[in-house]
Amino acid sequence: MRILLEYADQNDRFAAVLPRAGTVERGVTSRDGSKWVVFRLDLPVGFEGQVYHRFLLKSRWIGYEITDPRPTSVFILLVGDSQDVREGFEVGQFEHVAWGMVNQLGQ
């Protein structure tokens, strides 16, 4: 699935690197049972001296999923290239950088 991630709030410095298009690689569930997606960017993002190719995203709105056709607000977590995102991961091991909005793109 292709989506567009746009900036929404909580970190104006991060706003400069968005919007970005990319692909939902897979869904993953955190240790607390929350459903997240691994989002692979079409073009990497440089932020605070590091380059990121992936983010973790989770809907902030009850009843909305990133895979829904309607836009949704999301939490954005940074995933470093050396970090592995496994089932049952701890959310705190990834930096929450901002809130965003996602929209599906045409396939």
**What is the residue extent of each domain of the chain?**
2-104
pLDDT tops 70 at residue 80: yes
pLDDT tops 90 at residue 78: yes
Please confirm whether the linkage preceding 69 is cis (ω < 30° from 0). Answer: no
Residue whose structure tokens are 């009843």: 63
CA distances (Å), origin 1, targets 12, 22, 51, 69, 84: 27, 8, 23, 11, 21
pLDDT tops 60 at residue 16: yes
What's the distance, Cα to Cα, between the start and end of the chain in Å? 7
pLDDT tops 70 at residue 29: yes
At residue 82 the predicted structure's pLDDT band, cuts being 50, 70 and 90, is confident
Mean of the per-residue pLDDT values of the chain? 94
Q: What is the mean pLDDT of residues 48-72?
A: 94
pLDDT tops 80 at residue 107: no
Quote the pLDDT of residue 89. 95
